[in-house]
């Protein structure tokens, strides 16, 4: 599958839907790439899914870079890396420098920032420095506490108008696409039709230009919390537990490894050692 470019992605606006999934390591990146997924997102959700954090807030630049490098090694697809909390909020200079690290050190094709008008200065500066930015509005996990928790956003007229204004501001700042998370489907459709760049929905209905999910949610591998908008295409957690339990039982019973899963010698070892002694 040919790797998408920024112009390719923008041309998909209003056409064939874009597919985006999270990837955190080379093995999953290779599988998703082989399945024809358009873009891989190295999400700071790895804090919840892989590192055991209660939220995405503790995730560091070094952790994100470590996983972004792994994904790049495993895939030739278009890779977007999440900029973690406080890597772009303190100053525009920090934002450009940290975005550049994803390009230089991890080979990412774009970075993603959460927020609306308050991050447009950083978006504009990163784009001016020659890098691509994906926006993220609606429920922004890094600042979920300020939004009253993990709740649907844009449910009243004022907040709906604010989200529309944020999407337009991000487009004007130079973002090539916008993730919209936990937004009512009708509002997401209106925003999608009001901007000229693709929108990627996650809990935002079918009216977006594409969809993104956390891969571990899609595969049923993360059962600590599953958002209501997630459709499980597999339920691997029980299968993994069953397989691991079977291994445990066979090892304890001495039935694994058996002859089929062992290496045999032509010589009789006991006789060989006796002769040498």
Concatenate the DSSP letters of all residues of 26-75 into one string.
HHHHHHHHHTT-SEEEE-TTHHHHTS--SSSTT--HHHHHHHHHHHHHH-
User: What's the confidence (pLDDT) of residue 222?
Assistant: 86
Q: Are residues 105 and 31 located together in one domain of the fold?
A: yes
pLDDT at residue 277 tops 60: no
The boundaries of the domain holding residue 112 are 6-235
Integer angstrom CA distances of residue 100 from 97, 124, 155, 254: 5, 14, 36, 53
Domain-embedded: residue 1: no
Q: What percent of the chain has pLDDT over 90?
A: 88
Q: How confident is the model at residue 149 (pLDDT cuts 50, 70, 90)?
A: confident
Q: Are residues 154 and 246 located together in one domain of the fold?
A: no
Instruction: Provide mean pLDDT across the span 199-213.
Output: 98
Q: Are residues 197 and 165 located together in one domain of the fold?
A: yes
First to last CA, the chain: 62
Q: Are residues 27 and 60 located together in one domain of the fold?
A: yes
Domain-embedded: residue 97: yes
Identify the CA nearest to 173 among candidates 122, 245, 108, 110.
Answer: 122
Q: Are residues 101 and 43 located together in one domain of the fold?
A: yes
Who wins on pLDDT, 148 or 64?
Answer: 64
Q: Are residues 92 and 167 located together in one domain of the fold?
A: yes
C-alpha of 91 from chain center: 25
pLDDT at residue 188 tops 90: yes
CATH label of the domain that carries residue 165:
3.20.20.60
Integer angstrom CA distances of residue 220 from 28, 216, 224: 14, 6, 10
Q: Is 16 a catalytic residue?
A: no
- For β-strands 18-22 and 199-202, DSSP reports them as unpaired
Q: Are residues 154 and 95 located together in one domain of the fold?
A: yes
- Helix axis angle for 120-128 and 157-173, nearest 10°, is 20
User: What's the confidence (pLDDT) of residue 275?
Assistant: 62
pLDDT at residue 183 tops 90: yes
Q: What is the DSSP letter of 83?
A: P
Q: Are residues 231 and 255 located together in one domain of the fold?
A: no
The average confidence (pLDDT) of the chain is: 95
Q: Are residues 117 and 63 located together in one domain of the fold?
A: yes
Q: Are residues 157 and 205 located together in one domain of the fold?
A: yes
Q: Are residues 244 and 131 located together in one domain of the fold?
A: no
Separation of alpha carbons 139 and 155, rounded Å: 12
Instruction: Provide mean pLDDT across the span 220-225.
Output: 84
Instruction: Provide mean pLDDT across the span 10-15.
Output: 98
Write down the catalytic residue from 181, 193, 250, 276.
Answer: 181
Number of structural domains (the chain) is 2
Q: How confident is the model at residue 52 (pLDDT cuts 50, 70, 90)?
A: very high
What ranges in the chain are assigned the alpha helix state H?
A: 6-11, 26-34, 46-49, 61-74, 92-106, 120-128, 157-173, 185-194, 215-218, 236-253, 269-276
Residues in the chain: 277
The DSSP element (H or E) to which 136 belongs, if any, is: strand 133-138
Q: Are residues 229 and 257 located together in one domain of the fold?
A: no
């Amino acid at each position: 599958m040919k790797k998408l470019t920024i112009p390719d992605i923008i041309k998909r606006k209003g056409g064939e839907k874009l597919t985006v999934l999270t990837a955190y390591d080379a093995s999953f990146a290779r599988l998703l790439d082989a399945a024809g997924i358009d873009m891989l997102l190295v999400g700071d959700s790895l804090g919840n899914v892989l590192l055991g954090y209660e939220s995405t807030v503790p995730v560091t630049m070094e952790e994100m870079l470590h996983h972004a490098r792994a994904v790049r090694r495993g895939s030739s697809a278009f890779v977007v890396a999440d900029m973690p909390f406080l890597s772009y909020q303190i100053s525009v200079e920090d934002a450009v420098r940290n975005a550049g690290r994803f390009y230089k050190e991890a080979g990412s094709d774009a970075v993603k920032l959460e927020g609306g008008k308050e991050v447009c200065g950083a978006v504009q500066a990163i784009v001016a420095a020659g890098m691509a930015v994906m926006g993220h509005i609606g429920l922004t996990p890094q600042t979920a506490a300020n939004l009253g928790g993990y709740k649907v956003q844009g449910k009243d007229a004022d907040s709906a108008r604010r989200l529309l204004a944020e999407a337009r501001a991000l487009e004007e700042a130079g973002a090539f696409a916008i993730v919209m998370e936990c937004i009512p489907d009708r509002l997401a459709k209106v925003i999608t039709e009001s901007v000229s760049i693709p929108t990627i929905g996650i809990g935002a209905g079918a009216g977006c230009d594409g969809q993104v999910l956390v891969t571990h949610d899609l595969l049923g591998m993360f059962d600590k919390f599953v958002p209501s908008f997630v459709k499980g295409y597999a339920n691997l957690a029980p299968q993994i537990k069953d397989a691991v339990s079977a291994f445990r039982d066979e090892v304890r019973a001495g039935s694994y490894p058996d002859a089929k899963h062992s290496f045999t010698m032509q010589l009789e070892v006991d006789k060989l050692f006796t002769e040498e002694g």
